[in-house]
Amino acid sequence: MIEHIGLHTLFSDPLCKEMIWRDEILSIHEKYGPIDFYRFDFDVSQDYFAHWHDILRVQKKRRGEIALCVVNSHNRILLHTKLFYPSSTYRIPTGGIHFDESVIDACFRELDEETSLRAVSVNQLALLLYLFRHRQDVLPFVSYIFKVHVERDKPRVRDEGEAISGFRWITRSELGVIIQHLKSLEKNQWREWGIMRAAPHEIIENSLA
């Protein structure tokens, strides 16, 4: 369940200190507008927990991710799919934040790598704190959700390593269908991924209401 939380609750959790930097959050708030904070307590399988533990604690590939709500001049939202996704599965673009990279730098880098589109305006909609739980173990992960207005509506993949195979533009009213599709993925290796990936779409749907 996704829970709306306050800034104090976010920073009172010692698990989050290495991922979420208070000064950075305040700077983003000042430059890119108000931020809503959410927490998603997510009970996961041993395999899914191990997958994220390897990424975050062993390989240390990222300190969080960017989730992009890319909006064109017709007020439509950009989704993408990848070669290895289940059939008909689309979602908003996301990408990791490196440990030596600011959130804002990661936002513009990911927009360029995955869409080649140029931002006209940027606002941060929300910060989503995932707490992956397996038995007594807890692993935090954070997603910074940005709304980015772009001037063109013909995205092109710049980083071929992303394996993006298609794009779609949808209206806000179609987000519900995307959310339900992600939550309904049944294959074992996709079920928890789909539930996780549905969460930022739910926040975006509410934010744009």
* Residue range 80-120, pLDDT digits in tens: 999 999 999 999 999 999 988 999 999 999 999 999 999 99
Q: Which CATH class is domain 2-170?
A: alpha beta
Those residues whose C-beta lies under 8 Å from the C-beta of residue 166, and which sit 6 or more positions away, are 80, 81, 90
Those residues whose C-beta lies under 8 Å from the C-beta of residue 36, and which sit 6 or more positions away, are 4, 125, 126, 127, 203, 207
Residues in a beta bridge with 94: 67
CA dist 18 and 87 (Å) reads 37
pLDDT value for 152 = 85
CA dist 42 and 134 (Å) reads 9
CA dist 114 and 135 (Å) reads 36
Is 140:16 a contact under the CB 8 Å cutoff? Answer: yes
CA dist 13 and 66 (Å) reads 21
Single out the residue of 90, 153, 83, 93 nearest to residue 118, CA to CA: 153
User: Which pair of tokens denotes residue 27?
Assistant: 């700077």
Is 93:56 a contact under the CB 8 Å cutoff? Answer: no
- Whether the model pTM is above 0.85: yes
**Which amino acid, residue 14?**
P
pLDDT value for 55 = 93
pLDDT value for 78 = 98
pLDDT value for 187 = 75
User: Which pair of tokens denotes residue 68?
Assistant: 């992009």
CA dist 62 and 29 (Å) reads 22
pLDDT value for 88 = 95
Domain spans of the chain, in order of start: 2-170
- Distance, first Cα to last Cα, the chain: 20
The parts of the chain modelled with pLDDT lower than 70 are none
pLDDT value for 52 = 96
